[in-house]
Structure 1
Amino acid sequence: MQLSSLNQGRMNYRIPSELRAGPGQFLTGLRDDDSLLRQVFFSILRHHHPNLAAKVDVIYALSQAWCTSQSDSDFELLVKYVTDLKPEERILVASSFSHMLNLHNLTEEVNSSQIGRAVRLGEMDSPTRDTNHSLLKLTAVNGLTPQQVYDTLCNQTVELVLTAHPTQALRASLLKKYAIVRRELDTLHSKRMSEYEKIETLEAIRAAVQAAWRTDEIRRSKPTPQDEMRSGLSYFSTVLFDVVPVFHRRVDTALEKMGLPRLPLDKALFKFGSWMGGDRDGNPNVTAETTRDVVVLARLETVNAYFRQVESLMFDLSIWRCSSELKELAERIAAAESREAARVAEERKKRNYADFWAPIPATEPFRVVLSHMRDRLYNTRQVCECIMCGTGGHIFTRGRYPAKPCLPRCFGTPSSSHPSQLLSGSLRFCTHHRHPTESAESTAAQLHSWSARESTLSQVTTVHQLGALYLPPSEGFFDPYRFRSRDGRRPLMPPGMDVHPDVKEVVATFRMLSELPHDSLGAYIISMAKTASDVLAVVLLQRETGVRPALRVVPLFETLDDLHNAPETMTTLLSNDWYRAHINGMHECMIGYSDSGKDAGRLAAAWALYETQEKLVAVAAKWGTRLVLFHGRGGTVGRGGGPTHMAIRSQPSGTINGHLRVTVQGEIIEQQFGEKEVCFRTLDLYTSAVLEAALDPSPAPRQEWRDLMTLLAADSCDMYRSIVYRTPEFYDYFMQSTAASELGRLNIGSRPSSRKQGGIETLRAIPWIFAWTQQRLHLPVWLGIGEALEKAAERGYQPVLQDMYANWPFFTSTLDLVEMVLAKADARLSAFYERTLVEPRLADLGERLRNLLSKTQSHILIVVRKSALLEGNTPSQMSTPNLDEKIRLRSPYVAPLNVLQALSLKGLRKFREQGHGEYNPSDPEIIDLLSRDPHKKGDGAQHPYVSAMDDCLMITIKGIAAGEWVIEGGAAAELGRRGERLKRGRGREDGSAEGKGTYGM
């Protein structure tokens, strides 16, 4: 076998130029990576389907030609060629482009990692968006003392709450295979390799792509909430558990370089939570038993992670010198175990521990304490498993398990005196600095981080307006007599009380909460909260059902009216002496970005959210209460998403104050925590932004800007609602021109797409945004903004608008994000959906919407002073380097999927109306694929044509969704255009960085 060239047989792939050249441009490397993975995929497709591969090649060429020329004739050629495909060919073509698009996404992730690595190695100008540079900027530029910065950092916390909102379209099986491709592709760039190793790496890429191609893309059954929780927990066990302590160590190093002490051992920079299996907002699949299951699952996963790390640490910490506190504890444990040494050893042998079965002498104190912890973790795991099997009763809730008399009981509620804190403190004491064994130091920090620094994995939310069920609907509930009566002994819910089934389930949930460990629960969030009684009802129900200590109750203000009324609601609550005593000086409020945007349009919602935050903080300050704002952001711009650092820095001054709580939803979980380097970057961005928000807040907007923003919000809201809610034919146009009615068959989440039957009002924000994104009009993001800007210009406010854009971070980020989405919108593809799917009587409305899109683009370009979208280096576009080029690179993959989707929708709808005649697929693979359709067999089995078009449709939906996510800002992309300019050569002769995963800073 010759190794002088990689161009041998099936390995005829061109190595990315970034690997071969010295100071090559990263954009060139992105194109080369894209070409490499496309070649790999085509070689696999040609092997399995040579005829189909030729057609896919033609379609890609036609799509490229149209995306370049933008001519109608080129588009018609593409449409005609795709239309002539057989149903089974459409499935495989859709799957091909979906896979190629996902592979392209990997090249963007690797490209971002390469930029980040070059920044860390000093080969590029460093962006300010990391904690290290924030520390330096705040002291050197802003003039703060190091102690001021240190004190602020020690008092700040970021809480990230993972949710199962159904926006992650890719199956976990595919995500894992793509992760292998990403890792191996990154290895090609970052590690010095021999020819053998390069060949082996390329083969590993090919094997992973092959496995992805042979994996069914479609979820054939709907996930349960428990499934969603297990999926979410995988990010904790595979990524977060390792990265969080590494990040804390890097922050400690940065502090030490400034002459400051490390963070206190009990300091939590991050806390994590989850709604998975607890979110009841219109999800009938989440019951009291579901919540019980996910709490146990979370504890079991945590115990397993602890157990692995404790057992590993036992091999490293052989040192004898320790603090007096640890020595005393170790001597007590060793003395107790020595009295029953034989029984202890026998029991540990049965448990098949890796080593250290016999009692350990007190001369190895760390191992003694760790061995004790290992036994307790083993017992705790047994308890959790018994509960999951239904044989554990309620013993689990008391934190007790008899186990073996010779060994300790299981862990109950973690506390600040947890042995891991004692171990970490002793390591610092006895070594004065860092333990000489880095892995031991890392694992000790890891144990402490996860037990003391990370919070619970289960929270609860509900949509029921309990105030109307148990209390008078008027706010007279707040009179002194009613407050005094709540302290009485008379039960509000006597046994046998006849209530609605929904209410019965709510009560059952509260009773379940009273039986679960309190440290597994966070807040009880009231979705669509409107009045103070909604909050008080939950407080009262907790008392009645024995939830002790009570969970904090958090109202979620979502619609425009609810946001406007939120300050009054909180004033009613906080003005009451009893309630202020109950909350003990701190209150949390959640604000919803998705539903407010759907209700009023993006611009009006953004301004309402901005003003509401300011007013809520002022109300809380008036009553001497610390307010924590919980941001219910989605992933896309239409649901409040966007680059992390920019989103935080554009918040109103004084509303974060060192404590940020925010949801991480759907596909954003994978974007921010799917890979260790990216996860580190995510933590770095949050820490840096929150620190700067506290010490270098954005200046308050001028009154002139506020007044104009109020006018813009009112005008945009009126225009948005006049189209969405007051145009009779709009609902029909929406349902016909998009895949909204078909999205429910995606099986990407356990929650229904609508809260109840009805029109736009009842549709959830996620499918509302998702459907318009698929159709390429992106209407929810921009509708109403163009008319508002036009009216403002007509009133003579154009100079003020440009001043606001140049100097007000809130307005800058708002318009930049809208501009980014407008650059992704494609009116021509939207018009194709209309021609293919919509009744002619609705064509005028479609034309009107596209004209409004064009008007919005024109007026935004005037305000931002550009001649074309994405021209120049605006703040938001700096967050995603080469954004315009990335859109161009992915367009040839997305366009065929759009054409296939429209044709599939047309075929399905026509078949259901008229039938389609005979269809008998001949390809054995297609026959096998269609046989997996759960509707294929039994009574009411659907026609093979419907199965084929259904599969094609589902694949296109997933593929187009994959074409959107990177552009809307995962942490991997947030590196800044300033970092793209090379300062010098790559620094290493081989053109590579170290092969280690160094993460950041």
Structure 2
Amino acid sequence: MSRLPKIERFKNEVESKYQIFNGIFMTLPFDQISNTGGLLPLFHELCVSGYEKGKNPTEIVQYFFERYMRDTEEKERETMLFKFIQYIERQVVLFDAIEDAAFSKVNNLDGRGTLRSIKEEAVELDKTEELAAYLKEFKVRPVLTAHPTQFYPGAVLGILNDLGQAIKANQIQEVKLLLSQLGKTPFFNKEKPTPFDEAISLIWYLENVFYNAMGNIYDYLKTHIENPEEFKNQIVEIGFWPGGDRDGNPFVTTEITLDVAKRLRATLFRNYYRDVRKLRRRLTFKGVEEQLAVIESMCYKAIFETEVLDFTPEDLIHKLTSIRTLVFQDHNSLFLDQIDSFIHKVELFGFHFATLDIRQDSSAHDTVFDEILAFSKVQLPSNYNDLSEKEKINVLSQVEGSVDPNEYNDEYTQRTLSSIYAIKNIQERNGEKGCNRYIISNTQMASHIMEVYAMLRLCNMTQPKIDVVPLFETVPDLVNAPSVMRSLYENENYRSHVQRRGDTQNIMLGFSDGTKDGGYLMANWAIYKAKEALTSVSREFGISIVFFDGRGGPPARGGGQTHQFYASMGTKIEAKHIQLTIQGQTISSKFGTLESCQYNLEQMISSGVSNAVYASDANDFSPSDQATMDQLADTSYKAYTDFKAHPQFLSYLEKMSTLKYYAKTNIGSRPSKRAGSAELRFKDLRAIPFVGSWSQLKQNVPGFYGVGTALETMDKAGNWEQAQSLYKNNKFFRTLLDNSMMSLTKSFFGLTAYMEHDAVYGSFWKLIYEEYERSKKYMLMISGMNSLMENELAGRASIQARENIVLPLLTIQQYALKMVQDIQAQKESKNMETYERMVTRSLYGNINASRNSA
């Protein structure tokens, strides 16, 4: 490991190499227009100098045409812009590959936050016993979602992986070949992927990355923890949403859910089969080889079997353990570590590989219950919908009967009920861990949870082995969450269900929609307070709570640096589990290679240990700091809600951003809005297109809006010392501001400065810009930094390098948007389709370049 500072290692291993390989890429003849590679750097220079001089995107593009393409037709000019888009998309892939290849050199794989570091710190602090006890019950679960925030097709992902390997090995000729292949490989999906397609894409990461990374972590712990034979905790689990997430996605069917579960099991056995083949090459001993041959045959057959297998994970472990005993007793313990490693993987993954979650919106269940009430033999009071909330809970907790999805004419009801039967089917084939959670989006009241509990029992599961998981999303719902859960815990039947589930209640808290609803500061603080209150009420009833965070990717979606966030939770928040959604570019950036995956999983484990074992009560808020945080959050919330209520808020997004183009990109199976209404309504907006549209504008509003106003208000009221005290004392608040700084760093208002003079939206643009400047000023002031992300120089350098690559792409996008607006104003259709296609195509590279946002 180099002793150079991280920023220097980044410059040497990433920035310098990118300049070299990009120079090669720009000269490759993959393009029919020979001078594209020569003209793009000139266009890039014009963009940089143009914005410095206050030029707008249209002026920059027109000047480029006049200077370098004066004697060309309009069609040729448009073609050149499309070619620029293609080049820049591939430059982003090249940068990704170089960063992946340099991961182990830029990051210290044995440094702070790794398993080795955790162990050494425990020895130093004389806390080895506490560490061992904590690791025996602590769990980490990243949940892979299909949310489309990265647009690389499978073929491009394959090239990205191969390119990283070639760069790492300095195979220049191979890099040139792969760059040529990349140049001719399409990035654009002509058809929307199905949910099954999305699942296949993510299963690639399970098969090629997580399988080995998780195995390595488990091997290390079983070797280095005290009394390893007592360590039975599968410390890392994987959750999986593609194929099970029905919320707003009409294309997820029961058949797809079952097919995804089958593919997960088949892929796992393909990995098991490979491992057994490797073992057979080493364990060629008498009495051992024959037993391994039997296991190999079992695993091979299981790859293709779609029904219930005739053996269990326990059977497989028993056979492997008998082999281990034989090798230990008769064959000098040769290759014992390899046998142990395989046993550990079977302990980790069973027959399920990943746990498939089912998710649906509460409003869908209301519709289903109306159908059940009208057409079923189930005994429900005829006045069910008129009952009080308490009466509904009581009725639902005791409901009896059985429902058949085929009894109903309504397709929605059929699909909802059949999805519950699918859970039972998956558990029979893949084991209980194959699918054991039903998540209810938009949970607002206890009856939303009890409706699902009742449906589980009505689908022939009198004692369901399934966790009913509420998802509290908006700020009001988060405030109400503790009273909702109390009313459930007080219900005898539901409390018995929780007891059967190990006295554990899973609760999901949604950052993405919370940020969209209440702004950055309030959303995060409301979730923190909800966690404290939910922990308190659960402990009161003897229930251990598992928090599942819908953290998304970038800070604007409630994400940000994961390690610091979880390391900042206090003792008043249950923290025996860390569960969070991982999506899109965050999957490839954090978990795309074996090294980065293992490193980031270890960082998650470390953050839990740091908070629970080492920090103890140091992260708890003092009463005065909590009062300051309340004040800041309330002020920020008012600023954001006032902004959201501005009469031009929705029309600005609709007319001036890329919002409506997300639906045209064919990047994901799910529709871009919840409802099919022609009119744009805030409540129908999905968080990804909402946040993504601000990101494409380089305004990143959801990641900072209201923070500057809140800090300024404290300053002007003479309370700045309280704000400074909060920043100094509290890791959670510092982490929030660090993440918000990332959103500010990725903003660039020079791109849209022309909007200040727009007759309709000029004052609205200025409102956003002033809050950006205010937030930047006060975040630097409270942190004592001279520039944004001064404490994370390598991260800032990565962001700046990516933003620099896509600057011409952003310029082309804004130029095309302005052309569309002008054509619409003139009520002409001339070239409208061309410019709209230009906007859509430019979405790809801009989003892909943001992979370092979480």
Report the TM-score when normalising by structure 2.
0.89
Amino acid corresponding to residue 711 of structure 1 in structure 2: Q
Per-residue deviation at 1:206? 0.8
Q: How does 1:184-199 map to 2 (within 5 A)?
A: 184-188=166-170
Amino acid corresponding to residue 292 of structure 1 in structure 2: L
Corresponding position of 1:516: 426
Corresponding position of 1:135: 119
**Which protein, 1 or 2, shows the higher relative CO under an 8 Å CA cutoff with sep ≥ 6?**
1
Corresponding position of 1:768: 690
- Label 1:512 to 1:29 Cα distance change in 2 as closer, same or farther (>3 A): closer
Per-residue deviation at 1:475? 4.9
Q: 1:380 aligns with which of 298, 302, 308?
A: 302
Corresponding position of 1:566: 481
Looking at structure 2, the residues matched to 445 and 485 of structure 1 have their Cα atoms a distance apart, in angstroms, of: 42
Looking at structure 1, the residues matched to 779 and 326 of structure 2 have their Cα atoms a distance apart, in angstroms, of: 58
Any idea what the Cα deviations from partners look like across 1:714-768, whole Å, max 9, x if unmatched? 11111111111x2112211121221001111111111111101332221011111
1:717 paired with 2:615, answer no
Secondary structure of 2:350 counterpart: helix
Looking at structure 2, the residues matched to 527 and 171 of structure 1 have their Cα atoms a distance apart, in angstroms, of: 29
Secondary structure of 1:591 counterpart: strand
Any idea what the Cα deviations from partners look like across 1:370-425, whole Å, max 9, x if unmatched? 333333334333332xxxxxxxxxxx2xx2xxxxxxxxxx3455348743662586
Amino acid corresponding to residue 791 of structure 1 in structure 2: T
1:419 paired with 2:385, answer no
Q: Is the 8 A contact 2:248 2:361 kept in 1?
A: yes
Q: How does 1:446-595 map to 2 (within 5 A)?
A: 446-451=345-350, 456-465=354-363, 466=365, 469=370, 471-472=384-385, 474-477=387-390, 482=395, 485-486=398-399, 488=400, 490-491=401-402, 493=403, 500-518=410-428, 519=431, 520-547=434-461, 549-584=464-499, 585-595=503-513
Corresponding position of 2:838: 952
Unaligned ranges ≥5, structure 2 = 70-76, 374-383
Higher CA-based Rg? 1
1:620 paired with 2:538, answer yes
1:289 paired with 2:255, answer yes
Any idea what the Cα deviations from partners look like across 1:65-116, whole Å, max 9, x if unmatched? 457xx23269787433456671111100111122223322333333432123
- Label 1:46 to 1:916 Cα distance change in 2 as closer, same or farther (>3 A): farther
Looking at structure 1, the residues matched to 32 and 323 of structure 2 have their Cα atoms a distance apart, in angstroms, of: 56
Any idea what the Cα deviations from partners look like across 1:664-688, whole Å, max 9, x if unmatched? 1122111222111111112211121
Per-residue deviation at 1:55? 1.4
- Label 1:543 to 1:74 Cα distance change in 2 as closer, same or farther (>3 A): closer
Q: 1:107 aligns with which of 98, 109, 122?
A: 98
Corresponding position of 1:231: 201
Secondary structure of 1:627 counterpart: strand
- Label 1:368 to 1:46 Cα distance change in 2 as closer, same or farther (>3 A): closer
Amino acid corresponding to residue 106 of structure 1 in structure 2: A
Any idea what the Cα deviations from partners look like across 1:694-714, whole Å, max 9, x if unmatched? 212343111111111111111
1:733 paired with 2:652, answer yes
Unaligned ranges ≥5, structure 1 = 1-17, 121-125, 189-200, 320-362, 385-395, 400-409, 919-944, 970-1001
Looking at structure 2, the residues matched to 288 and 115 of structure 1 have their Cα atoms a distance apart, in angstroms, of: 44
1:156 paired with 2:138, answer yes
Corresponding position of 1:886: 798
Looking at structure 2, the residues matched to 657 and 965 of structure 1 have their Cα atoms a distance apart, in angstroms, of: 28
Amino acid corresponding to residue 213 of structure 1 in structure 2: G
Q: How does 1:961-1000 map to 2 (within 5 A)?
A: 961-966=847-852, 968-969=853-854
Any idea what the Cα deviations from partners look like across 1:427-459, whole Å, max 9, x if unmatched? 78549997447655544544444328x754422
Amino acid corresponding to residue 767 of structure 2 in structure 1: R
Q: Is the 8 A contact 1:420 1:447 kept in 2?
A: no
- Label 1:508 to 1:681 Cα distance change in 2 as closer, same or farther (>3 A): same
Looking at structure 2, the residues matched to 900 and 538 of structure 1 have their Cα atoms a distance apart, in angstroms, of: 48
- Label 1:480 to 1:781 Cα distance change in 2 as closer, same or farther (>3 A): closer
Looking at structure 2, the residues matched to 895 and 62 of structure 1 have their Cα atoms a distance apart, in angstroms, of: 10
1:840 paired with 2:759, answer yes
Looking at structure 2, the residues matched to 565 and 917 of structure 1 have their Cα atoms a distance apart, in angstroms, of: 50
Per-residue deviation at 1:63? 3.5
Q: 2:612 aligns with which of 678, 694, 699?
A: 694
Per-residue deviation at 1:834? 6.6
Looking at structure 1, the residues matched to 141 and 91 of structure 2 have their Cα atoms a distance apart, in angstroms, of: 35
Q: Is the 8 A contact 2:555 2:742 kept in 1?
A: no
- Label 1:529 to 1:662 Cα distance change in 2 as closer, same or farther (>3 A): same
Q: Is the 8 A contact 1:185 1:205 kept in 2?
A: yes
Per-residue deviation at 1:148? 2.4
Q: How does 1:834-983 map to 2 (within 5 A)?
A: 840-871=759-790, 873=791, 877=792, 881-908=793-820, 945=831, 948-966=834-852, 968-969=853-854
Q: How does 1:366-377 map to 2 (within 5 A)?
A: 366-377=288-299
Amino acid corresponding to residue 514 of structure 1 in structure 2: K
Per-residue deviation at 1:954? 3.0
Corresponding position of 1:975: none
Per-residue deviation at 1:598? 0.4
Q: Is the 8 A contact 1:894 1:959 kept in 2?
A: yes
Looking at structure 1, the residues matched to 446 and 213 of structure 2 have their Cα atoms a distance apart, in angstroms, of: 41
Corresponding position of 1:651: 569
Q: 2:624 aligns with which of 701, 704, 710?
A: 704
Looking at structure 2, the residues matched to 546 and 412 of structure 1 have their Cα atoms a distance apart, in angstroms, of: 25
Secondary structure of 2:469 counterpart: strand
Any idea what the Cα deviations from partners look like across 1:234-271, whole Å, max 9, x if unmatched? 1111112222222222334444xxxx333646431111
- Label 1:217 to 1:300 Cα distance change in 2 as closer, same or farther (>3 A): same
Looking at structure 1, the residues matched to 689 and 654 of structure 2 have their Cα atoms a distance apart, in angstroms, of: 11
Any idea what the Cα deviations from partners look like across 1:479-524, whole Å, max 9, x if unmatched? 89747843x5x45x58886674423321222233333334221200
Any idea what the Cα deviations from partners look like across 1:209-235, whole Å, max 9, x if unmatched? 111111111111100000011111111
Per-residue deviation at 1:962? 2.5
1:316 paired with 2:282, answer yes
Q: Which moved more, 1:164-173 or 1:564-573?
A: 164-173
Q: Is the 8 A contact 1:610 1:652 kept in 2?
A: no
Q: Which moved more, 1:816-825 or 1:890-899?
A: 890-899
Looking at structure 1, the residues matched to 504 and 555 of structure 2 have their Cα atoms a distance apart, in angstroms, of: 31
Corresponding position of 1:810: 732
Q: Is the 8 A contact 2:276 2:295 kept in 1?
A: yes
Looking at structure 1, the residues matched to 738 and 158 of structure 2 have their Cα atoms a distance apart, in angstroms, of: 33
Q: Is the 8 A contact 1:601 1:716 kept in 2?
A: yes
Q: 1:755 aligns with which of 674, 693, 704?
A: 674
Corresponding position of 1:34: 18
1:171 paired with 2:148, answer no
Corresponding position of 2:743: 821
Any idea what the Cα deviations from partners look like across 1:24-64, whole Å, max 9, x if unmatched? 85423433112112111111158753222221121123345
Any idea what the Cα deviations from partners look like across 1:802-845, whole Å, max 9, x if unmatched? 1111220110001111112112211111224676xxx5222111
Identity %: 23
1:269 paired with 2:235, answer yes
Q: Which moved more, 1:81-90 or 1:281-290?
A: 81-90
- Label 1:264 to 1:473 Cα distance change in 2 as closer, same or farther (>3 A): farther
Q: Is the 8 A contact 2:159 2:182 kept in 1?
A: yes
Looking at structure 1, the residues matched to 492 and 460 of structure 2 have their Cα atoms a distance apart, in angstroms, of: 23
Corresponding position of 2:378: none
Looking at structure 1, the residues matched to 518 and 394 of structure 2 have their Cα atoms a distance apart, in angstroms, of: 40
Looking at structure 2, the residues matched to 461 and 501 of structure 1 have their Cα atoms a distance apart, in angstroms, of: 17
Q: Is the 8 A contact 1:129 1:689 kept in 2?
A: yes
Amino acid corresponding to residue 120 of structure 2 in structure 1: L
Q: Is the 8 A contact 1:222 1:750 kept in 2?
A: yes
